[in-house]
């Protein structure tokens, strides 16, 4: 079982503030070193060969305030382009490649949704946003959502009935994109789950309307700055791991090899700041984010949410967070584990039952996107689960 808040093998007891993360060992974190050793070897193997699962990867896992393992493998930049005739990446000369490090930033893709969700729950805690309020109360000009009485809770739980996405990147100006979003009506049955990027996009507009501030400012001032997450921000991010040689027909835009600019086409069309994608971060920064939620909303002297609102955020079905999803959480699923994946190859999972967290960041879309293979994510989470059980 996890140590009580404020005590740990890696921290001092009796602290008034929540303990900060510290590098430790598997043993000091209460995790089995054999299982974590296998985790690292398996992640390294994912980055080798002619057609690796990812060009490079970073894995970080811990328990309580202890970071038990933090390792990098492979390349942040391995390819110059993608060759569709041979269906292979055009390899850079070894001297021109960029090695992956634990400090390499990644395009988080849909992991961004978690930060949008926390920003929303912060407004719920302050009383400026009602979780069961109708979107039309805040955005009367979004007539379709207002007419169909879409609620904030439905946006946060993907039960609004909105379709998965819209081709906003096909519009030439912000007015056209905004008018398309305003006119979008639910196509599914309200209350039925359907994962949709449009939910956090509408939520972004709600948050910006009620606060008068951009989502990037809300996340910076409400989450990343107080937590000291200096590597987490919306792009551009020049030192990030490369993603895709983005070209039609496999992509939706002609942009060439991407590095340090958002991969998601809609987020790019929206200027790089979007409720569903656009953030860049590192494994260590995401570990701080996980630790904060596991500690009830506090990290060091900073508090970004009260414990009751962390409970609201992480009570099934979860607000923004996916809960107990075996397809990427492996054997961590089933006890109230929460997390999310990102299309570019990112993932985080936190398990309140065992006070553990796992971050796996990889550039699986470098040099081009492939059908998703989530088995490595589930396998990594299972290793962490077994590392707890073994102790």
User: Which CATH number characterizes residue 364's domain?
Assistant: 3.40.710.10
CA 170 to CA 268: how far, in whole Å?
Answer: 11
Counting Cα atoms < 13 Å in the Cβ hemisphere of 387 gives: 33
Going by pLDDT thresholds of 50, 70 and 90, the confidence category of residue 390 is confident
In a domain, 386, yes or no: yes
**Helices 198-211 and 112-126: angle between axes, nearest 10 degrees:** 40
* pLDDT at 15 exceeding the cut of 70: no
* Average pLDDT of the residues in 299-327: 98
> Taking the model in full, what pTM does it have?
0.95
CA 167 to CA 252: how far, in whole Å?
Answer: 9
* pLDDT at 4 exceeding the cut of 60: no
In a domain, 252, yes or no: yes
Tens of pLDDT, residue by residue over 185-231, are 999 988 999 999 999 999 999 999 999 999 999 999 999 999 999 99
Structural domain span for residue 303:
22-116+216-390
Nearest C-alpha neighbor of 361 from the set 293, 263, 286, 292: 286
What does the pLDDT read at residue 17? 77
What does the pLDDT read at residue 391? 66
* Average pLDDT of the residues in 292-302: 97
CA 203 to CA 219: how far, in whole Å?
Answer: 13
In a domain, 8, yes or no: no
* pLDDT at 75 exceeding the cut of 60: yes
In a domain, 283, yes or no: yes
Going by pLDDT thresholds of 50, 70 and 90, the confidence category of residue 18 is confident
Kindly give, in sequence order, each residue whose CB lies less than 8 Å from that of residue 345, ignoring residues fewer than 6 positions away: 54, 57, 106, 361, 362, 363, 364, 365
Domain count across the chain: 1
In a domain, 165, yes or no: no
CA 265 to CA 252: how far, in whole Å?
Answer: 7
In a domain, 159, yes or no: no
Strand 233-234 relative to strand 279-281, pairing: antiparallel
Tens of pLDDT, residue by residue over 131-142, are 999 999 999 999
Tens of pLDDT, residue by residue over 247-267, are 999 999 999 999 999 999 999
In a domain, 193, yes or no: no
What does the pLDDT read at residue 7? 32
Strand 66-77 relative to strand 22-23, pairing: parallel
What does the pLDDT read at residue 124? 98
In a domain, 346, yes or no: yes
* Average pLDDT of the residues in 59-77: 98
What does the pLDDT read at residue 16? 59
The average confidence (pLDDT) of the chain is 94
In this structure, are residues 290 and 359 in contact, taking their beta carbons and an 8 Å threshold?
A: yes
Nearest C-alpha neighbor of 366 from the set 110, 47, 45: 47
* Average pLDDT of the residues in 136-158: 97
């Amino acid at each position: 079982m996890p140590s009580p808040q404020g005590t740990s093998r890696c921290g001092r007891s009796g602290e008034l503030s929540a303990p900060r993360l510290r590098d430790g060992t598997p043993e000091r974190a209460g995790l089995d070193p054999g299982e974590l050793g296998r985790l690292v070897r398996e992640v390294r193997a994912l980055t080798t060969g002619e057609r690796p699962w990812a060009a490079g990867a970073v894995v970080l896992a811990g328990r309580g305030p202890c970071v038990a393992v933090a390792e990098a493998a492979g390349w942040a930049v391995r390819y110059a382009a993608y060759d569709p005739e041979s269906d292979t990446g055009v390899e850079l000369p070894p001297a021109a490649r960029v090695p992956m490090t634990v400090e390499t930033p990644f395009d988080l893709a849909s992991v961004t949704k978690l930060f949008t969700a926390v920003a929303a729950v912060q407004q719920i805690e302050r009383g400026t946003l009602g979780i069961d309020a109708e979107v039309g109360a805040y955005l009367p000009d979004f007539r379709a959502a207002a007419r169909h009485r879409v609620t904030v809770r439905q946006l946060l739980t993907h039960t609004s009935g909105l379709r998965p996405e819209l081709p906003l990147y096909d519009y030439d100006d912000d007015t056209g994109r905004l008018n398309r979003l305003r006119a979008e009506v639910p196509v599914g049955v309200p209350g039925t789950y359907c994962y949709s990027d449009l939910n956090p996009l509408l939520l972004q507009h709600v948050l910006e309307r009620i606060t008068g501030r951009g989502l990037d400012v809300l996340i910076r001032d409400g989450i990343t700055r107080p937590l000291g997450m200096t590597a987490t921000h919306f792009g551009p991010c020049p030192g990030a791991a490369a993603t895709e040689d983005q070209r039609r027909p496999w992509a939706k835009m002609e942009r060439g090899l991407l590095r340090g600019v958002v991969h998601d086409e809609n987020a790019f069309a929206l200027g790089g700041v979007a409720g569903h994608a656009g953030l860049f971060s590192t494994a260590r920064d995401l570990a701080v984010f996980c630790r904060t939620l596991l500690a009830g909303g506090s990290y060091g002297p900073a508090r970004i949410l009260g414990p009751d609102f962390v409970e609201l955020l992480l009570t099934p079905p979860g607000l923004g967070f996916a809960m107990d999803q075996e397809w990427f959480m492996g054997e961590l699923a089933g006890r109230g584990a929460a997390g999310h994946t990102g299309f570019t190859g990112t993932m985080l999972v936190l398990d309140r039952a065992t006070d553990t967290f796992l971050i796996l960041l990889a550039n699986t879309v470098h040099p081009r996107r492939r059908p998703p293979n989530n088995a490595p994510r589930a396998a990594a989470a299972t290793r962490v689960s077994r590392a707890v059980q073994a102790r």
